[in-house]
Structure 1
Amino acid sequence: MVGIILASHGEFAEGILQSGAMIFGEQENVKAITLMPSEGPEDVKAKMKTAIASFDDQEEVLFLVDLWGGTPFNQANTLFEEHKEKWAIVAGMNLPMVIEAYASRLSMTSAQEIAASIIETAKDGVKVKPEELEPKETKAAASQTSSVGAPGKMKYVLVRIDSRLLHGQVATTWTKTTGPTRIIVVSDTVAQDELRKKLIQQAAPPGVKAHVVPVDQMIKIANDEEHFGNERALLLFENPQDVLRAVKGGVPFHEINVGSMAHSIGKVQPNKVLALDQKDIDTFKELKESGISFDVRKVPGDSKANMDGIIKRAQEELNKQK
């Protein structure tokens, strides 16, 4: 696996390492290198050498640095000179760049290949409001993402239950690994909330449109054979009850990624990210009887948890409360 050095003036690198872990999960072979006010160039170089020595593969190293020409860049560059056939340096580090680098490691084994692949994502992560301030070419590119109109039914790259709906882990990791053209939040409640709808649409990653539709509208879209043949949809549900309605209405998917269900009064928490009540348990059982399988994990890099075991523990905890 390609090793990654995050390097910055001050504690920026430590902060972006923590932010990346929150969104993409803890990462192996990634180190944060900081240049503190009391330190000099040789201190940074020594830290970088120690970090690289800890990597599983020291032949493939990618440096993500904050500023071109700054001390972290310069010290990375002195090390790079002896490995320029394989290593790479990218300056202008931001969180979309880091997440893209993490995701790229799942399919790429070359530091230079990853470096080339993350540039556009880093640029696309820079946006401005009001939109009128965006450069004209940026707005023009964003307007060319629609693929509605082709004959055929919509395809589903991921169906996820997540009480937070569209947030960082979905907008980066899952979008990167599944490649949707559209993210669709399926919820009667959210469809009636104009503020939440607007926030969800604004949270869509570059090149992907986000929509909010009621469950009945999603069923109509799923059965439309005339207009969505080019569409690859990532569906987000708040709860299993809405999923069951969609399944009964004919939305054709066979697996659900169960990512997060928030705790509330009357629910028990059989693991760190899922909270269930009796209604949830009964609904998951009915979904299983309908032929639906469950992929229980927050991010693609997590190990899959056993849904049957989670339901059993939740039922036992609820029975104790009676």
Structure 2
Amino acid sequence: MATTTWTRHHVLSLADFTPEEYNTVLQTAASFREVLSRRTKKVPTLQGQVVANLFFEPSTRTRSSFELAAKRLSADTLNFAASTSSLTKGETILDTAKTYLAMGTDMMVIRHREAGVPQAIASEMDRLGVRVGVLNAGDGQHEHPSQALLDLFTICTLIDPDRPRLELLKDKKIAIVGDILHSRVARSNIWSLTASGAEVHLAAPPTLLPQLFAEFVTDTPGKLFLHWQVEPALQDADFVMTLRLQKERMTQYLLPSLREYHQHFGITRNRLRICQSDVKVLHPGPVNRGVEISSDLMDDPQFSLIQTQVTSGVAVRMALLYLMGSSKA
């Protein structure tokens, strides 16, 4: 288990994460990955604490992963579904959060389709003077910190299973391909990967990759590049991250067709030939098979780390809940 003191009360963004915090999460997650390999996959570290999963939009992987992570740490869990909640009767989001606070919640995991909701809840908890940690599980087009951290953990443990650490990615070339405009995952990954010293290459049609991303990061060890064709991003890449086309967030017909997108930007075996010979492919899920990535490539363990990402997610979210829960005054 990492011995570095953890002082972060909320995890809302990776924009201000320090290298020490990244490494603390990675090393703590590595310890919990070992726990998850045992016959008895449960530890008493958060026994008596309550984790509320407040998901205001649909989710499979993230919600289930946080719930399992909390239970593996012996915490009690409360699960919220907007469609069956008092929100339908006019209750505000902040009042919902305060209701869970009154039930004795110690940590809140928040997902919402609007950016800033986790921050608003965290600010309200701070205003009330309570020690309730808030973890952003994805907010609008802002960020998805735990997804980027599990991606980082997946890559680092592939390189060094025993000692995953940020500096392993220095000078690695990582391509992120897909709907970058709408992706909170891409934004968080840009922060974490450039912090490691990696070269991050974004590739998408111009409608899904505006020029403003060129100024997304400053003062980081790594570099960020934009491409409106996929080949320059893939050339000699060590890792390729594909992103889901978020059709539910597209209201302006930004693509001619899904078929044309796959033709020009879909990740296939043939396209990977210009990458490094040992290139690996990641995707945060859910996947539109045959659109962002060919179905056969997605299921090929020689290239695909997609299922490994899901497994890594439980260990990383255990690490975040443990670190936040252990830092409570």
Q: Give yes or no for TM over 0.5.
A: no
TM, length-normalised to structure 1: 0.37
Q: Which structure carries more relative contact order (alpha carbon 8 Å, separation 6+)? A: 2
TM, length-normalised to structure 2: 0.36
Q: Which structure's CA Rg is the greater one?
A: 1
